[in-house]
Amino acid sequence: MADAALQNLFTLFRTGRHAEMVSEARNLLRHHPDEGALWKALSVGQQLLGEDALDALTRARALLPADAEVAANLGVLWMGRGDWPRAHEALRDAVRLQPRLAGAHNNLGNVLLALQRPGEALLAFETALSIQPTLVLAHGNRGRALLALGQPEAAAGALLQAVDACPSDVTLRLNAATALRAAGRTADAVLQLRAALALAPAHVDAGFVLGELLQAQGDAAGAAEAWSQVLVHDPGHAAAACNLCQVAPERGEAVLRGVLAAGATGESRAAVLINLGRLLLQQDRVHEAERAYREATQVAPASLQADSGLAQALRRQGRLDEAQASLSALIERAPQLLTARSDHLLLQAYRQRSADQAGGLRAEAAAFGACVQAPPVQRGARPPAGLRVGLVSADLRWHPVGRLALAWLPALASRCELFVYANQRAADALTNELRGKSARWCDISGLDDDAAAAQIATDGIDVLVDLNGHTGGNRLGVLARRPAARQLSWLGYAGSTGLAEVDGFIGDRWLLPPGAEAGFVEPLLRLPNCFTVYAPPSGAPEVPPLGREPWFGSFNGLHKLSDEVLALWARVLAATPGSRLLIKAPGLQHAAEREALQRRWPGDAALLALEGPGPVHDYLRAFGRVDIALDPFPYSGGMTTLDALWMGVPVLTLPGAAPISRQGLSFLQTLGLAEGWVASDADDYVGRAAASMSDRAGLATLRGGLRERMAVSPLCDAGRFATEMLALLRP
């Protein structure tokens, strides 16, 4: 074939007439099908036109086995198709044939990174740079290899050098931010991402990572804005929507439903539905949450989060049999899923009715303890000093545990050195008040169990007290690492943690009667008076006089109101002519929850008044409409019982064998009211309710003096309680 024909093809290439180049090469190949240079020229033209050049390159490679450029181009083509082994073979041949091809070395490094061979990739990039020191891409890729090798600081240096050489390259800036983040240089990473977004405002990857970094810096508003911008450019970005839901829950539902409407599918859709279910649970819209979780289980049948959320939604509705079945199946699928095991133990506490069940609960708790075992953290010696007590809790906020802590925490802090390890991201006014009372407040919500345990050990805590047990947000994994010489569990959960590393469970003689040891792995420690102390809400309204109409009431969560409880309360109303029942609980502000409860009610629904919780002052004022509070069983009321008593409302309770069923008994015994207000069985419960309601004069007298009686009792004596607690805490 004449050189003039090849020269003509080169002229067409040089002048940008690529379509003519391809056409001419094809014409020539009809007459010279074995001419490798023509196949090479055809492949070059096709690649420039965006056409498939695989056939032309394969033929050129076979006819020109010593042509390094053809091998390199074939390697790039295989890279584009994600065929890393073939790309590796072609590029390896290219650099063997022509060792000075810097671009081929750089591409070979990229292939080696894709094959998870970062050490060889680093060598390839450094070879490329030794040939062509100004090859910016190789500097950036060298940084990626260093990052893959666990050298983030060196990686950041290489990538920043590349950014300096090519400041308009968005990908380089994003990679630099990744390395800086890994090196712990969050602020510098944020600067790189902001610069990338200034160049490319619609770059969703840069915006998403920026949101993550701003959240890590505590800038929730900035994170929300970053993820909002991601959703502007990609309305179906599920991860951005889920994250935005966490930092700006008031916008969460609209954002999540927007992603669903945008057509999210598969795992992304399941993640959005799970977050939607979680948000709806937080808003007490449990039936809507159930629907979201059920759809998530259909979209992603293997999702453990979806099954766990569904069980929570069922439990919150009082559908305990279904919740237990769901959790049991989940544990069978994933025996090491500790949250499911904790949820199952918590559910069992709702259901324990007899002492015979205690052994089974203890065994289940011990199985949890075996799953959470971990090597102990190293504890250093601390010079002899005053007692240093640590508290671990996710609930030091407007929550029953937080409200009770408002009574005893200041008194305890004045008698020992008190450290608080808070496992909660959100803070409220009560959190801030409690924070000011402690010697040190440490947020461990962002620390894993090893890091949190190491922090506690470094602080030299003498006694570590868990305030969660198996309730949500617990950090039992931290206690399993034994960061303190003495570790106890108290208040948040009336049952065994199951951990051999917990040296005692704190209660009182009524909560933990003789024989209660059968349900606990831990030794039992009994305070001489009530297991807790109460701080009356500031600004609580005065106790109003007894009303004319007979009203029973319950202010407990709907999850405590099982069908059995509702059936007994219907009997109470039937035995008390003219009486009605006020149920004021989170969730009942929503029509769907009210309608669901009315459907479950076995009596005349017209006798029910169903209301949501409302502001604190309204909640307390509502007690003024109630003559007698009915305690659910077997999960009795805690804070709601104390509030009722403070507002002059006696509480009728039905204690069982489980400690969780005996909270009301403990409060009433402490007040000297057990004789009239503690029932022995269901029939006694109905009889006492009817008889007490008919004694209007007696109720009025009790109502008028109950607050004063409570105020001078051990229930409101924080100083006395702190002294008794310290005597128990000291080793």
Answer whether the bond into residue 167 is a cis peptide, omega within 30°.
Answer: no
Reply yes or no on whether the pLDDT at 355 is more than 90: no
Question: Is 380 in a helix, a strand, or coil?
Answer: coil
172: closest CA among 162, 183, 185? 162
In a domain, 224, yes or no: no
Give the span between the Cα atoms of 130 and 112, in whole angstroms.
18
Considering the domain architecture, whether residues 348 and 470 belong to the same structural domain is answered as: no
Q: Provide mean pLDDT across the span 307-328.
A: 93
Instruction: Indicate if 597 and 641 belong to the same structural domain.
Output: yes
pLDDT at 358: 84
Does 422 lie in the same domain as 359?
no
Task: Check residue 29 and give its pLDDT.
Answer: 85
Residue 700 and residue 598 share a domain: yes
489 assigned to some structural domain: yes
423 token code pair: 């496992």
Residue 579 pLDDT exceeds 70 = yes
Pair (322, 456) in one structural domain: no
In a domain? residue 511: no
Rounded to the nearest integer, the mean pLDDT of the chain is 95
Query: Under a CB-based contact definition with an 8 Å cutoff, are residues 690 and 665 in contact?
Result: no
Question: Pick from 708, 698, 642, 643: which is nearest to 675 by CA?
Answer: 698
pLDDT value of residue 711: 98
| 400 and 355 within one domain | no
Examine residue 257 and state whether it is found in any structural domain, yes or no.
no
Distance of alpha carbon 415 from alpha carbon 353, whole angstroms: 39
Q: Are residues 441 and 468 in the same domain?
A: yes
Last residue of a domain, one of 346, 372, 398: 372
Q: CA 194 to CA 205: how far, in whole Å?
A: 12
What per-residue confidence (pLDDT) applies to 618?
96
Q: Which long-range contacts (CB under 8 A, 24 or more apart) does 268-272 make?
A: 268/236, 268/238, 268/239, 269/238, 269/296, 269/299, 270/296, 270/299, 270/300, 270/303, 270/306, 271/238, 271/239, 271/242, 272/238, 272/241, 272/242
Please say whether the beta carbons of 645 and 619 come within 8 A: no
The structure tokens listed for 183 are 């090196």
Is pLDDT of 383 > 80? Answer: no
Which one-letter amino acid corresponds to residue 71?
A: A
Q: What percent of the chain has pLDDT over 90?
A: 87
In the prediction, which pLDDT does 2 show?
62
CA 703 to CA 546: how far, in whole Å?
Answer: 7
pLDDT at residue 1 in the model: 59
Q: What is the pLDDT of residue 3?
A: 78
**Is there a domain that residue 592 lies in?**
yes
- pLDDT tens digits along 439-493: 899 999 989 999 999 999 999 999 999 999 999 999 999 999 999 999 999 999 9
525-530 contacts at long range (C-beta below 8 A, 24 or more positions apart): 525/488, 525/728, 527/721, 527/724, 527/725, 527/728, 528/724, 529/670, 529/714, 529/720, 529/721, 529/724, 530/666, 530/667, 530/669, 530/670, 530/714, 530/715, 530/721
Given this model, what pLDDT does residue 11 score? Answer: 86
* Full residue range of the structural domain in which residue 287 is found: 280-372
pLDDT of residue 115: 97
Find the mean pLDDT for residues 340-355: 84
**What's the confidence (pLDDT) of residue 170?**
95
Q: Please give the Cα distance from 582 to 190 (Å, whole number).
A: 53
Report H helices in 283-337.
Answer: 286-299, 304-316, 320-333
Query: 29 with 167, same domain?
Result: yes
Burial readout 506-537 (b: 16 or more C-beta within 10 A, e: otherwise): bbbbbbbbeebeebbbbebbbbebbbbbbbbb
> What's the pLDDT band for 426 if we cut at 50, 70, 90?
confident
In angstroms, the CA 271 to CA 658 distance is: 37
514 within a domain of the structure (yes/no): no
Write out pLDDT tens, residues 137-176. 999 999 999 999 999 999 999 999 999 999 999 999 999 9
DSSP string, 494-539: SS----TT--EEEEETTTS-TTGGGG-SSPEEEESS-SS---PPTT
Bridging pattern class, strands 551-554 and 524-527: unpaired
Please state the pTM of the whole predicted model: 0.80
- Out of 174, 200, 226, pick the residue that ends a domain: 200
Distance CA 38, CA 40 (A): 5
Q: Which of 244, 218, 217, 240 is nearest to 230 (CA)?
A: 240
Distance of alpha carbon 282 from alpha carbon 289, whole angstroms: 9
Q: What separation in angstroms does the CA of 688 have from each of 25, 411, 587?
A: 102, 38, 30
Same domain membership, residue 163 and residue 23: yes
pLDDT tens-digit readout, 2-41: 678 888 888 888 889 999 898 988 988 888 999 888 898 8
Phi, psi of 83 (to 5 degrees): -95, 85
Q: pLDDT tens for residues 501-528?
A: 999 999 999 999 999 999 999 999 999 9
Instruction: Tell me how many domains the chain contains.
Output: 4
Gap between the Cα atoms of 406 and 535, Å rounded = 7
> 399 — phi, psi (to 5°)?
-160, 155
Beta bridge partners of 608: 581
Q: Which pLDDT band holds residue 531 (cuts at 50, 70, 90)? A: very high
Mean pLDDT (whole number) for 247-262: 93
Is the Cβ–Cβ distance between 306 and 293 less than 8 Å? Answer: yes
* Dihedral sign from CA coordinates of 197, 201, 202, 208: positive
Length of the chain: 731
Q: CA-based angle 698:702:704, to the nearest 5? A: 120
Here the tokens at position 21 are 């180049």
Q: What is the pLDDT of residue 309?
A: 97
Look at residue 640 and give its three-state secondary structure. Answer: helix
Shared-domain flag, residues 667 and 626: yes
- Does residue 634 have a cis bond before it (omega within 30 degrees)? yes
Cβ contact 413:439 at 8 Å = yes
Which residues, 6 or more positions from 509, have their beta carbon under 8 angstroms from its beta carbon? 526, 528
Domain boundary among 372, 398, 416: 372
Structure-block tokens of residue 594: 């009210």
Residue 481 is part of a domain; what is its CATH number? 3.40.50.11380
Condensed to tens digits (0 to 9), the pLDDT of residues 641-692 reads 999 999 999 999 999 999 999 999 999 999 999 999 999 999 999 999 999 9
Distance CA 324, CA 494 (A): 19
Model pLDDT for residues 287-312, shown as the tens digit of each residue: 999 999 999 999 999 999 999 999 99
366 in any annotated domain? yes
Q: Are residues 638 and 682 located together in one domain of the fold? A: yes
Bridge pairing between strands 551-554 and 388-393: unpaired
Distance CA 147, CA 155 (A): 5
pLDDT at position 180: 96
Note the pLDDT of residue 381: 79
Question: Could you give the CA distance from residue 466 to residue 422 in angstroms, rounded to a whole number?
Answer: 11
The answer to whether residue 519 is domain-embedded is no
By the 8 A CB rule, do 493 and 348 touch?
no
CB atoms within 10 A of CB 617: 12
Residue 297 sits in the same domain as residue 427: no
Least confident of 138-147, 242-251, 379-388: 379-388
Q: Report the alpha-carbon angle 582-583-585, nearest 5.
A: 145
Q: In this prediction, what percent of the chain has a pLDDT beyond 70?
A: 99
CATH of the domain at 148: 1.25.40.10
CATH of the domain at 598: 3.40.50.2000
Question: Which residues, other chains included, contact 363 with Cβ-Cβ below 8 Å and sequence gap of 6+?
Answer: none
**Whole-angstrom Cα distance, residue 265 to residue 519?**
46
Q: Which parts of 614-673 fold into alpha helices (H)?
A: 616-622, 639-646, 663-671
Q: Report whether 80 contacts 110 (CB < 8 A).
A: no
Q: How far is the first Cα of the chain from the last one, in angstroms, to the nearest whole number?
A: 98
d(CA 678, CA 641): 13
Please tell me whether residue 388 adopts helix, strand or coil conformation: strand
